Structure 1
Amino acid sequence: MKKKTKILLIYTGGTIGMVKDYKTGVLKSFDFKKLLTHIPELAQLACSIKSVSFRKPIDSSNMNITHWVRIASIIEKQYDRYDGFVVLHGSDTMSYSSSALSFMLEHLSKPVVFTGSQLPIGDLRTDAKENLITSIQIAALQQRTKPVITEVCLYFEYKLYRANRTTKINAEHFEAFASLNYPALAESGVHLKVNQENLLRRKGRKPLFVQKQMDNRVAILKLFPGINKEIVRSIFSATNLKAVILETYGAGNATTEDWFLKEVGQAIRNGIYIVNVTQCSGGSVIMGQYETSEALQKMQVINGKDITTEAAITKLMYLLGSGVSSKSFKSIFETSLRGEMT
């Protein structure tokens, strides 16, 4: 008899774990121990499902490093007991959290699938059931007794994406996420189709290591026409600041006004890492392609290539927390660690 795959659900909070009290109309968290009551279809899956919840479920807008460490620690503690993990999370910051976990879980060899929903699980038109059922099915996929997926992913509305390639693009549609610079890892239709060529291949056989030191002395500076020196200077001069994501125009372009380039140059001399990431949802930074990015390239601004802002900020936190030396920081950031950049 084939052994059942064991899946652990980790509920952090968010709409997916809510049911509506039809008498009052109020949303409330439901007991995940009674999951089969709400989703009897789960009984058809050939896997064993257990769940664990945050003692106090949180809205994803309140997510922070402490919560990321808690999720990672649960996975670390239960890693040998389960074949896959499904993290239920509010959609608003899901791309940030899942990107963070992709870096924190070093040498991961099992699936970690983040999912959520736009409507509560008890709602008549909910997307929660499909997202949850398929996420569990994906986490349980095995080939020759080994997991098919060995990375941190995000599943939403019929598509499985590499987590650190995603961004939330819509607050109202069921299709809330996109991965514009990398194709889907799997698609759910009449059949569940896994795009094997897009999966992250694990190198080596090292055991899981969880990096729990994340440094949040980082900032995001989005450029806009008319941005002034005082605003830029106030960000670069923030106490204990270690790194800044510079969200530039198009293929990595920025104003060439003297005051701006002087502020960037001074920040770099002060030991602040500056990463050039495009404001565009898709596409890549190509520094030096235009005159408006040539100066940044000469100043050794870090090239974010086609990384998302969500992955860039969490990668910064991870590298700073890992104690990477200033000498190698630029080259390590510009290297793809978990498939987050092309």
Structure 2
Amino acid sequence: MSNKKPNILLVYTGGTIGMVKDFKTGTLKTFNFNNLLKRIPELELLDCDINTVSLEEPIDSSNINPTYWVKISEIIEQHYDYFDGFVVLHGSDTMSYTASALSFMLENLKKPVVFTGAQLPIGDLRTDARENLITSIQVASLQENDAPLIQEVCLYFENKLYRGNRTTKINAENFQAFKSFNYPELAESGVHLKVNEKYLWRSKTDAPFKLHKNLDTNIALIKLYPGISEAVISSILKTPNLKAVILETFGAGNSSTASWFINLLSTAIENGIHIINVTQCLGGSVIMGHYETSNQLKRIGVISGNDITTEAALGKLMFLLGKDVSDNQFKMRFETPICGELT
């Protein structure tokens, strides 16, 4: 039995968790993560070795984009052989988007990549940052038979560990900021840390870890609403170089049956634009053909998003388009789970 302590790399990208308040001015500023143990001495109680690295210029997560996803992934790639787990500190606003994207980019992942953040700065009296950070590191260091117990991209927030590509931010003020509506939590932190091992993802191949950096952003997101006009839909579908559209529909994947609407989508599909049907509902699944109002979408070749989140659908689209999947394979590839993102 190995007595070696797990090595955990803390990757700071920005966000509230890395801020401390200047009590003289009331402003927030980034603190030096090399002094992390001074700020949170409880980390010394964890049975692991912790190293830190930051983006050259930490950013507010509202400014996140695929370029930063590649930078974060490259840090993991560069340190992959030397660390047993990774904890990524990230602003909460777009954390689900980044966690979802990296779940596709980090192929054959055999180690934990745990995203976390905070609603209040780490220096605040009532901060949630300490618990989120401490438990995320503890989760990333869990071992079983000398191998990491968690082997996927996760998100930890307020006592719950979720599969990253199943999460959505649901609240801008509560500490319970995230939810996974269509998949159970992977672990829950209380008096004890309870891991629901039957829900953990395992790669079905022994192929080596591989990073995919090529993401194609020529996509659009359309949220349907009562009264949406032909001009709006038409203008979006005429966007230069557009390759795919995520259509946020009503309920179980329903939409208007107006002839102009169906004709616009049908023409777009004929022109090689992939249309993905994702429900606006936080929970539940698209079931095309269940109602008459989705049967026409199925007939013209709209792709079912099943129970995927919008955040994961965006990451998966960028990933598949970046791999240059052929048109006749695209529907099958999107509707097939890659890393537990849909049922």
Q: Could you tell me the TM-score, scaled by structure 2's length?
A: 0.99
Match of 2:72 in 1: 71
Percent identity of equivalent pairs: 65
Cα separation, 2, equivalents of 1:224 and 1:24: 44
Point out 4+ residue stretches in structure 1 off by more than 3 angstroms.
Answer: none
Match of 2:180 in 1: 179
Shift of 1:219: 0.7
SS at match of 2:181: coil
Cα separation, 2, equivalents of 1:205 and 1:334: 23
Cα separation, 2, equivalents of 1:202 and 1:267: 35
Cα separation, 1, equivalents of 2:3 and 2:242: 54
Match of 2:326 in 1: 325
SS at match of 2:77: helix
Q: Does 1:205 align with 2:206?
A: yes
Q: Does 1:238 align with 2:239?
A: yes
Mapping 1:92-171, distance limit 5 Å = 92-171=93-172
SS at match of 2:239: coil
Once the two structures are superposed, what CA deviation does each residue of 1:7-48 show, in whole Å capped at 9, x if it has no partner? 000000000000011111110000000000110000000100
Once the two structures are superposed, what CA deviation does each residue of 1:197-224 show, in whole Å capped at 9, x if it has no partner? 1101221211110000000000100000
Letter in 2 for 1:35: L
Cα separation, 2, equivalents of 1:221 and 1:307: 16
Shift of 1:323: 1.2
Once the two structures are superposed, what CA deviation does each residue of 1:292-326 show, in whole Å capped at 9, x if it has no partner? 00000011100000000000011000000011111
Q: Does 1:223 align with 2:234?
A: no
Letter in 2 for 1:301: V
* CA RMSD, Structure 1 to Structure 2 (Å): 0.6
Moved more, 18-27 or 272-281: 18-27
SS at match of 2:156: strand
Unaligned runs of 5+ in 1: none
Cα separation, 2, equivalents of 1:160 and 1:48: 21
Match of 1:81 in 2: 82
SS at match of 1:261: helix
Shift of 1:327: 1.0
Q: Does 1:263 align with 2:267?
A: no
Cα separation, 2, equivalents of 1:200 and 1:113: 14
Cα separation, 2, equivalents of 1:202 and 1:235: 37
Unaligned runs of 5+ in 2: none
Q: Does 1:25 align with 2:8?
A: no
SS at match of 1:9: strand
Cα separation, 2, equivalents of 1:157 and 1:319: 32
Cα separation, 1, equivalents of 2:37 and 2:26: 23
Once the two structures are superposed, what CA deviation does each residue of 1:168-190 show, in whole Å capped at 9, x if it has no partner? 00000000000000000000000
SS at match of 2:330: helix
Letter in 1 for 2:83: Y
